[in-house]
């Protein structure tokens, strides 16, 4: 009886072990198959916590001016670039002490966040950047809340200095960070006003360092937005600002309005006005939003065209939304 019982128990244990092994093998196979079926984005998002898009941002951009960062990156690597940009910007924004007059001391401690979620760093410091959905690959857009105007130009300048000095590593996916100082609807009146205000602020801050005549340059990017229905409606309608020459004319007029003694110089400008038509998702048909930046010479490169300086000198322009 003992021998028979032992044999029976052994057989049962063997069967149980075999069954468990088969189950584990089947589970592992299923997981492997699921992983193989998952797209790279899904695998990536499974290990990286990314902020959600702020779907209220387009309407806010249409009605209020915002400071922001527009980041160019390798095509199809927008999520990698988003995570990388958060890491890069986080400490520099926390170190920035400038804000609008109606921003109290508490709001100076900001957090990269969304309306629904909040992402805290190790020091529990925070910033209010929101991620905005775009219709163009190779771009990432973060905006600050309305009435909050940190020194975005200073922040990007500090980032580039830190990269050049070796204090931080060169990014793998982010190639350029455009510091947006203001946004406006793409019409002549609002664009002229936005450029005038920013140029006056620039000139007042560097009054003793600028030459005469003042040399300036203008850059304009649509980044494929002319392919959208909204842009086509504007091109076929009364809005002619999507025409590069028309936009240059308005910007030049605004600069000359502030500084009478100013000339265009595309080789060595003392200030550069960059205008970006933002490829926003979710804006009403016929509505276009422009981002405006007035940058010093140390933040721009003029060849092969006028643009904000690359974060890495080895950037392969063929793979970047310039």
Phi and psi at 63, nearest 5°, equal -105, -15
| Closest CA relative to residue 218, chosen from 263, 183, 182, 175 | 263
pLDDT string in tens for the chain (322-residue length): 555 555 555 555 555 555 555 554 554 444 444 444 444 444 444 445 678 899 999 999 999 999 999 999 999 999 999 999 999 998 898 764 333 333 343 343 344 443 333 334 433 334 689 999 999 999 999 999 998 999 999 999 999 999 999 999 999 999 999 999 999 999 999 999 999 999 999 999 987 788 899 999 999 998 866 555 555 555 555 556 678 899 999 999 999 999 999 999 999 999 999 999 999 998 887 789 999 999 999 999 998 899 999 998 765 543 334 4
d(CA 242, CA 226): 8
Burial (CB < 10 A; 0-12, 13-18, 19+), residue 67, is buried
Strands 139-143 and 68-73: antiparallel
DSSP 239-297: --TTSHHHHHHHHHHHHHHH-SSEEE-SSS-SEEEEEEEE-BSSPPTT--EEEEEEEEG
Provide DSSP, 181-246: -EEEESSHHHHHHHHHHHHHHHHHHTTTT--SSEEEEEEEE-TTGGGSHHHHHHHHSS--TTSHHH
CATH code linked to domain 57-319: 3.30.2130.30
């Amino acid at each position: 009886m003992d021998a028979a019982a032992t044999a029976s128990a052994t057989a049962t244990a063997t069967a149980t072990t075999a069954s468990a092994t088969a189950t584990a093998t089947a589970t592992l196979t299923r997981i492997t198959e699921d992983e193989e079926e998952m797209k790279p984005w899904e695998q990536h998002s499974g290990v990286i916590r990314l902020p959600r898009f702020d779907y209220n941002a387009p309407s806010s951009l249409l009605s209020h001016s915002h400071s922001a960062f527009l980041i160019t990156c390798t095509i199809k690597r927008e999520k990698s670039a988003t995570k990388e940009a958060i890491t890069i910007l986080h400490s520099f924004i926390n170190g920035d002490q400038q804000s609008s007059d109606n921003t109290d001391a508490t709001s100076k401690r900001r957090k990269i966040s969304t309306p629904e979620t909040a992402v805290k760093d190790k020091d529990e410091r925070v910033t209010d950047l929101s991620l905005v959905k775009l219709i163009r690959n190779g771009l990432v857009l973060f905006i600050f809340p309305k009435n909050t105007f940190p020194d975005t130009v200073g922040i990007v300048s500090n980032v580039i200095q830190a990269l050049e000095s070796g204090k931080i590593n060169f990014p793998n996916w982010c190639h350029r960070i455009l510091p947006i100082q203001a946004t406006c609807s793409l019409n002549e009146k609002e664009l002229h006003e936005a450029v005038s205000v920013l140029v006056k602020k620039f000139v007042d801050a560097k009054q003793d360092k600028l030459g005469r005549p003042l040399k300036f340059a203008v850059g304009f990017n649509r980044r494929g937005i002319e392919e959208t229905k909204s842009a086509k409606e504007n091109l076929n309608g009364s809005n002619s600002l999507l025409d590069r020459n028309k936009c240059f004319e308005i910007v030049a007029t605004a600069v000359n309005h502030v500084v009478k003694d100013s000339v265009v110089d595309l080789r060595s400008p003392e200030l550069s006005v960059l205008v970006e038509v933002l490829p926003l998702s979710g804006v009403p048909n016929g509505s276009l939003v422009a981002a405006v930046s007035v940058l010093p010479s140390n933040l721009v490169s003029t060849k092969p065209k006028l643009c904000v300086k690359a974060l890495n000198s080895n950037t392969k322009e063929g793979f970047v939304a310039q």
